[in-house]
Amino acid sequence: MSTHQGNSWVTFDCFGTLVDWNSGFSELLRPIAGKQSARLLAAYHQFERQIEAQRPHRHYRDVLASALALAAQKVHVALPSSQALALPRAWTSLPVFGDVEPALAALRSAGYKLGVLTNCDDDLFEQTQRCFQRCFNVVVTAEQVQDYKPSLSHFLFFAKETSVVSRK
């Protein structure tokens, strides 16, 4: 939670926190990998972090496709190049967790402004935003900061954009 001149903020990561990324991605992988889906997803997570750390910065669609292709090779799942983009093509199918909207509404009612700091890019978050009942006050994407969390870039950008200082 952060405050500035009486404004109170709550910021969230989006995917895995507000949006059920793992279940949604698992559903998309099932037709591709069948019983190997869980192993493919675990391998994906390893490669995603490695690719996000590479320079120059890569768009998240490329990170998704490259990490999935490497993960498929690792677990010996045949992955045609057309299926490497399965996740960005079905991005809006990722479900929002059931308790999120009531929690966000309660925070807004209590006077908080809400922000999202996400590792996806602007176009993907624009699609995700449509899945929520209301827009967030601030959204900081990897595309805007040309970096991926856990780097501090998102947080520094948020602080600069909102003139907010963190309160411990």
Per-residue pLDDT at 5 exceeds 60: no
> Are residues 15 and 31 located together in one domain of the fold?
no
Q: What is the pTM of this model?
A: 0.89
| pLDDT band per the 50, 70, 90 thresholds, residue 87 | confident
Q: Where are the beta strands (DSSP E) in the chain?
A: 2-4, 7-12, 112-118, 138-141, 165-166
Are 113 and 138 a contacting pair, CB within 8 Å? yes
Whether 146 and 86 share a structural domain: no
Radius of gyration of the chain (CA): 17
55 phi and psi angles, rounded to 5 deg = -120, 145
Q: Band of the pLDDT at 51, cuts 50, 70, 90?
A: very high
pLDDT of residue 86: 86
Give the end of a domain, one of 75, 92, 109: 92
Q: What is the per-residue pLDDT for 63?
A: 96
Closest CA to 120 of 2, 16, 6: 16
Number of domains into which the chain is organized: 2
Average pLDDT score over residue span 4-25: 87
Q: What is the mean pLDDT of the chain?
A: 92
Residue 122: domain span: 2-19+96-166
Residue 116 shares a structural domain with residue 72: no
